[in-house]
Structure 1
Amino acid sequence: MNETDAKVPVDGSPLELALTAWREALGEAHVVVEPDALEAAQTATFATTQRIPAILRPADTAQVQACLRIAQAHGVPVYPVSGGRNWGYGSRVPAGDGSVLLDLGRMDRIVEHDEQLAYLTVEPGVTFRQAHAWLREKNSSTFITTIGGSPDASLVGNALERGDGRGPHADIFQHVCALEVVLPTGEVVETGHARFPGALAAPVFRWGLGPVLDGLFSQSSLGVVTRMTFWLARKQPYLREFFCTVNDDAYLWDAVDRLQALALDGTLKGSFFFWNDLKALSVTQQYPYASVGRTPLPDPFRDQFREGFGRWAISGALSAPDAEIGALLERRLATALEGAFRPVTFAPPPPDGESHFQGVPSEANLAMAYWRKRTPPPQAPDLDRDRCGFIWCSVALPFTGAQARRAVEIADRVPRLFGLEPNLALLAHSPRCLYLVTALAYDRDARGEDARAHACYRALARELAQAGYFLTRAGLQAQEASPSVRDASSEVVRRLKAVLDPRGILAPGRSES
C-alpha cells in the first residue's frame, strides 16, 4: 500500500481520538497501524477496494465492550472478524470502506468441555485445528465437525456464517447454543438459558425461555459474538468412508433420489457429497498449462480425465455402534448405488477413528484455489497472500434429483460463458436440502480475470435465483447480487439495527437480506 493510499488520521479527528482511547484500553501493541499489516488485511481472494485504517486485537469480552463503546463515542466504524479465513467470501476485508478491523484472534480460550454431555464452549479465536488437538490431547471420544476450508478457520466465525461441515453435524449452526454477544453499544446479552444466573441447562438446551435471539447474530451486523457452545458428536466404533463414480448424468439424478431416501430413514446420518470431474481434478492437480496452453480447459482433456474417473463422484461415510449394524448399512448403500460407473467401495477402518468425518481437519481441499495459478501450492497455503482467485457461489435447493439436475444445468453452463471451468459439488446438508456449491477459481495475476470472475458470479447468482435457488451465504462478492425480498423482513432488520446500533458503527455496508 502506498502511503498516499492510507487514510492518515488528522490530529483531533474522530479516528485519531478513537485510536488514542483504544491504545489506552488494549495497550499500544494491540492497536495495529503498520502499513504491511493493513495491506494484508485488505487482501482477499478477489478484487476489493476497501481500506482499513487500523486493526484492534482485544483479549477478552471486557475489551470488546470497551472497543465498541469507544467506536460509538467517536462514530468510528468497526468490522469484527474471528480467524480471518473466510476465503472465497471476502476473507477479513470489511464490507465498508474505512472500517477499523476488530480482530478477535487473541480470544482463543476453550472455556468448558463436558465429555458425557458432549459439548465444547469456546471463544471466537479458537480454530478447528486447535479444537481437534485439544480434544485429542484429552483423549476425548467426542469431536467437532470439520469443514472443507482452512483448519485455521474459527469455529465461531464459521458457525455464524452458517458454514457446512463433514460428519453428522453438517448444519453447524443447528448444533450451537448459549451465545455471549456484545452489542454495538457495549452491552452484553446471552442467549437461551445462559442469561439466567446458575442455569445448569444453558449449554444443553438451545431454546431457553421466550423469544430465541441466537439467529439475530448469525450472518448479521447486530452484535459481536464472544462465546459459543458447540454440541459435539461421539466417535462411532464402526466407520467406513465410501466412494463410487458415475459416468451417466441420468443415473446421477436417480442416485440423488435414492440417497435422499437413505438420509431420511437414517441409513446415511451424516453429510455426503457429489463432486463433478472438474472439482476432483482441481484438488489433485493444477491447470495443465504445459499440455493445453490456453483456458478454459478443452473438452478433450476433460474427457481423458473422465476415462478413469467418470463424470461425478459420490462420497461420504457410514457410522454405526457396531460392525453388525455397519454391515447392514453397507448393503443398503451398495443396493442404492447399484449400476454406478464404478461399484461403491468402502475404505478400511481409519486408525484410532482418525477421519475427516470424525473431526480431523485437513487442508487438502484448499488445493482447488490454486487450480489456475502458475506456481505450485505452498506447503502452508494462504489464499490471500498467494493471490489465488477464488469465489464461492452456494445456493440451497430441495433434495430431489429433478431439482439437482435443473440447478446443475445452470451452474455448469454459466461459468463456461465467462471462460471459467464449472467446479461443482452437491452437498447433502440435511435429508431435505442440498447445497449446490460452485467454485470459481482463476489467477488474480492474469489481467482482467478479477472483473471476469465477478461478472460470472453475478450472472450465476442471478440466474440461479430466477430459477428459485437462492444464496445460502452472501460474502463481499454478493454486494451487488443480493436478491430482493417480497416481505417486510429487510425493514424489520433495519429497525432492529437502528435500535441496537444507533450510530451504525458495526460492520456498515454488510448486507443482511
Structure 2
Amino acid sequence: MSFAEEATTDVPTLPETHSGIPVYLLDKARNAKAGVFDGRTKPIRDRQRLPVVPQGIERDDFLAALEDLKAKMGHEFVEINDKALKDGWYMEHPNTHDMMTILDEEELVASAVVYPSTTEEVQQIVLWANKHRIPIFPISMGRNLGYGGAAPRVRGSVTLDLGKRMNKILDINPEDYTCLVEPGVSFYALHEVLKEKGYDHMWVDTPDLGGGSILGNTLDRGVGYTPYGDHWACHSGLEVVLPTGEIIRTGMGALPGNNTWQAFPYGFGPYSDGLFSQSNFGIVTKMGMTLMPNPGGYESFMYTFQKEEDLGPLMEIIRPLRIGMILENVAQVRHVAQGIAAQGLPRSKFYQGSGSIPDEVLHTAAAESPAGDHTWAYYGMSYGPSHIRAYKLAIVDAEFLKIPGAKKVDPSTLPADDYYFSRDRIAAGIPDIHELRWVNWTPNGAHIAFSPVSPIRSADAMKLFGLGKKLHQQYGIDFFPAFIVGLREMHLIVEIVFDRDDTERKQAAMDCLRDMIDQAAALGYGEYRTHLVLMDQVASTYSWGDGALMKFNERLKDALDPNGILAPGKSGIWPKRYRGRGWEMTRESGLVSEGKGADGL
C-alpha cells in the first residue's frame, strides 16, 4: 500500500477488529487521521537484507527456527517482517516497530510477529524461544505511544502480538463491579460491551486515548481520570506464562474453582503481582479488574490561572482538597502551550521562528481562544447527586478563586469541539480520541515523554517546572507540561513533540530528555515510566544501596529466565548473557540501541 493509499483508507471500527474505533467516534477519528496525514512528509523507505536477525544467530538457523514456529502455530499466524515499515497512525499502528521512533527506524525493529490465541499457545512460543535462544517481546496492542510503542528493545526480537487473537472479555460481574480481560481488550471495547449489556451502573476508567489495552496499560502503571485512575491499584489477579514456560495464577486465581479472582487481589502468601508490572519476568495473559460504580451524576469544571508562578499556590490549595476527596478525580493542571497545540494546528500557524516559541506568542493565541488568556488550566470533575456536587464545588470555587486572576470557565461559552469536552467525557468513563492532536504541532509529528513523580507541593511543582522550562529553552524545544494529580502524588508529564524525519531535532529531544532525567534525579525526582531507549538511564537513577534494587531484579531475572529470552532490557533489566556487552543505552551510546552479541549464542 502506498503512502497515498494509506492516507485514504477508512478507519477500522469495533467490532470488525479488536483494535477498532467505536462507531460513535468514527467521524472524529476520520478527522484525526486527516490531520495526521496532512502533516506527513516522511517517505516510506526501501529496506535491505530482511528480515533483521537477532545478534549471534545465523540467518539460516533463524529462518529454520521460524519454520519450526510456523509448524506449531500455523503458517498464517507467523509473519516475517520483511516489508516496508509503515508508521500508520494511532488507529492503524504498526506492530513491528515504534511508529514514533526517536532512533533510526531500523534500530528497534522486530524480525517477525507471532499471533497466539490462548495461554497454552503463548506457552508453546516461550518453549520454542528457549529451544532456539531467540529473544521474544510481548505486546498487548502496541499503543504505548511516547514510551516505545510496539518496538522490541533488542533489535530482531520476535514480537508476540497478544491482542489480535486474545481479545476476549472473559467475565463481567455486574454485582461485584469487576471484569476479567485478555490483552487485546481496549478501553473502547470494554466501554462498548458495558453499554451493549445495559450495565449503565458501571464505568470503565479510561486514559486520554481509549484504544490501548486495559491489561497492557495497567501493567505499565498507566493512569485514567476518574477516582479509579490508578489502574494498577484497581487490578486483581493475573494469569502469567513464566519465561521457562510454566503457567501460574496469582491472588485468588490460584485457588481452583475460586469465585473471588477479580474481587480480592491478594490471595494467600507473598503478593507476587508486582513482579509482572513493568518487568520482563513473565507474560500476562489474563487480568482481573475492578469497575467504577456510576456515581449517579457528575459535573465537569475548568478553572484558568493567569501566571506561571500561580502554579505554586495552586498546588498548596489542591493538596488538602485532593487528599480529602473534595477534588475527587485524577485531574490535569495543563500549561496553555499544550492547550493551544491541542487544537490540532501546526506550529507554523502561530510562529515560524526558531527556538522555543515565545511566551508572548502563546498568550496572544490564548487570548483569541474561547477560554481566554491564561497560563494554567485545571480540568476536574465532581461526582454524586446534585446537592452533594454543589457542596463540594462551592468549596473548590472558594479556594481556587483565592488566586488573583483565577477564573471559572463557563462551558456554555465553549465550542462543541473544545478540548474541555474531551476531558469531560474521559472523567465520566467515556473513551475519546481527541488527545494527540497536539502531535500535529510539527511535520511528521511524534512525541516522547518525561514522567517524573513528586508530592503535591508548591516547591516540588516549581522546581520541576523550572527545570523543564530551562532545558527546553536551551535545546530550542517547545515546552508542554501537564501535572496529573493523584491522591498524594502527581506525575509531571512533559511531552516533547518532534519531527521523526529530522535527525537534528530527534537528537535535541534525546539530549533534553537525558538532561531532565539526570537533573530531576539529583533533586530527588524519579520517573515512574519511560521510553524504551531511556530505560537503562532511568533504572540507574534508582541507585540507593549501591544499586541494590537492580541487583535484586537481576537475580530474579536470572532465576526466572535463565536463557534470557523474554524482553531483554525492558525496564533496564538485562539477562546475564547480555550483561557487559554494551547493550545499555547511555548518553555515550547516542542513538544506537545494540550491543555486541549475547553469551551462549
Aligned: 1:449 with 2:505: yes
Deviation for aligned residue 1:481? 2.4
Aligned partner of 1:316 in structure 2 is: 380
Deviation for aligned residue 1:391? 0.5
Q: Residues 391-420 of structure 1: CA distance to partner in whole angstroms, max 9, x if unpaired? A: 011010011122111111111221111111
Q: Residues 279-298 of structure 1: CA distance to partner in whole angstroms, max 9, x if unpaired? A: 11110143341553223323
Q: Structure 2: how far apart are the matches of 1:445 and 1:11?
A: 32
Deviation for aligned residue 1:479? 3.7
Contact persistence 1:104–1:124 (CA under 8 A): yes
Aligned: 1:332 with 2:395: yes
Which residue of 343, 348, 367 maps to 2:437? 367
Which residue of 237, 242, 263 maps to 1:183? 242
- Code of the residue aligned with 2:571 in structure 1: it is S
CA distance 1:76–1:8, change in 2 (3 Å): closer
Which residue of 474, 478, 489 maps to 1:421? 478
Q: Structure 2: how far apart are the matches of 1:249 and 1:291?
A: 20
Contact persistence 1:96–1:510 (CA under 8 A): no
Aligned: 1:194 with 2:257: no
Task: Report the 3-state secondary structure (helix = DSSP H, G, I; strand = E; otherwise coil) of the residue aligned with 1:156.
Answer: helix
Q: Structure 2: how far apart are the matches of 1:148 and 1:355?
A: 10
Contact persistence 1:17–1:74 (CA under 8 A): no
Aligned partner of 2:263 in structure 1 is: 204
Q: Residues 127-155 of structure 1: CA distance to partner in whole angstroms, max 9, x if unpaired? A: 11111111111121111111113x22111
Aligned: 1:139 with 2:186: no
Deviation for aligned residue 1:8? 6.0
Task: Report the 3-state secondary structure (helix = DSSP H, G, I; strand = E; otherwise coil) of the residue aligned with 1:491.
Answer: helix
Contact persistence 1:38–1:54 (CA under 8 A): no
- Code of the residue aligned with 1:43 in structure 2: it is D
Contact persistence 1:286–1:372 (CA under 8 A): no
Q: Structure 2: how far apart are the matches of 1:425 and 1:32?
A: 39
Q: Residues 423-454 of structure 1: CA distance to partner in whole angstroms, max 9, x if unpaired? A: 00011122x10111100001123341111111
- Code of the residue aligned with 1:192 in structure 2: it is G
Q: What pairs up with 1:134-283 in 2 under 5 angstroms? A: 134-140=193-199, 141-149=201-209, 151-283=210-342
Which residue of 502, 505, 511 maps to 2:562? 502
Q: Structure 2: how far apart are the matches of 1:124 and 1:104?
A: 6
Contact persistence 1:176–1:228 (CA under 8 A): yes
Contact persistence 1:144–1:232 (CA under 8 A): yes
Deviation for aligned residue 1:499? 1.2
Unaligned runs of 5+ in 1: 374-386
Unaligned runs of 5+ in 2: 1-45, 87-93, 413-419, 574-601
Q: Structure 2: how far apart are the matches of 1:346 and 1:192?
A: 47
Contact persistence 1:123–1:226 (CA under 8 A): yes
Aligned partner of 2:119 in structure 1 is: 61
TM-score (structure 1 length as normaliser): 0.92
Contact persistence 2:184–2:213 (CA under 8 A): yes
Q: Residues 145-196 of structure 1: CA distance to partner in whole angstroms, max 9, x if unpaired? A: 11113x2211111001101111111211010011000011111111111101
Which residue of 28, 52, 69 maps to 1:7? 52
Q: Structure 2: how far apart are the matches of 1:15 and 1:370?
A: 40
Contact persistence 1:454–1:477 (CA under 8 A): no
Deviation for aligned residue 1:42? 2.1
Q: Structure 1: how far apart are the matches of 2:411 and 2:247?
A: 48
Q: Structure 2: how far apart are the matches of 1:186 and 1:347?
A: 54
Aligned: 1:511 with 2:571: yes
Deviation for aligned residue 1:480? 5.0
The more displaced of 278-287 and 435-444 is 278-287
Task: Report the 3-state secondary structure (helix = DSSP H, G, I; strand = E; otherwise coil) of the residue aligned with 1:370.
Answer: helix
Which residue of 520, 532, 535 maps to 1:464? 520
Q: Residues 324-381 of structure 1: CA distance to partner in whole angstroms, max 9, x if unpaired? A: 1111011111111114534324658x99x982112211111111122112xxxxxxxx
- Code of the residue aligned with 1:88 in structure 2: it is G
- Code of the residue aligned with 1:298 in structure 2: it is P
- Code of the residue aligned with 1:316 in structure 2: it is G
Contact persistence 2:135–2:157 (CA under 8 A): yes
Question: What is the identity percentage for the equivalent residue pairs of Structure 1 and Structure 2?
Answer: 27
Q: Structure 2: how far apart are the matches of 1:511 and 1:327?
A: 45
- Code of the residue aligned with 2:477 in structure 1: it is L
Task: Report the 3-state secondary structure (helix = DSSP H, G, I; strand = E; otherwise coil) of the residue aligned with 2:142.
Answer: coil
Aligned partner of 1:383 in structure 2 is: none
Aligned partner of 1:78 in structure 2 is: 136
Q: Structure 2: how far apart are the matches of 1:77 and 1:196?
A: 32
Aligned partner of 1:377 in structure 2 is: none
- Code of the residue aligned with 1:327 in structure 2: it is A
CA distance 1:317–1:210, change in 2 (3 Å): same
Contact persistence 1:6–1:51 (CA under 8 A): no
Aligned partner of 1:396 in structure 2 is: 453
Q: Structure 2: how far apart are the matches of 1:235 and 1:395?
A: 32
Contact persistence 1:240–1:347 (CA under 8 A): no
Task: Report the 3-state secondary structure (helix = DSSP H, G, I; strand = E; otherwise coil) of the residue aligned with 1:35.
Answer: coil
Aligned partner of 2:29 in structure 1 is: none
Q: Structure 2: how far apart are the matches of 1:175 and 1:343?
A: 34
Aligned: 1:437 with 2:493: yes
Q: CA RMSD in A?
A: 2.2
Task: Report the 3-state secondary structure (helix = DSSP H, G, I; strand = E; otherwise coil) of the residue aligned with 1:309.
Answer: coil
- Code of the residue aligned with 1:415 in structure 2: it is H
CA distance 1:290–1:266, change in 2 (3 Å): closer
Aligned partner of 1:284 in structure 2 is: 343
Q: Structure 2: how far apart are the matches of 1:253 and 1:290?
A: 31
Task: Report the 3-state secondary structure (helix = DSSP H, G, I; strand = E; otherwise coil) of the residue aligned with 1:46.
Answer: coil
Q: Structure 2: how far apart are the matches of 1:465 and 1:362?
A: 34
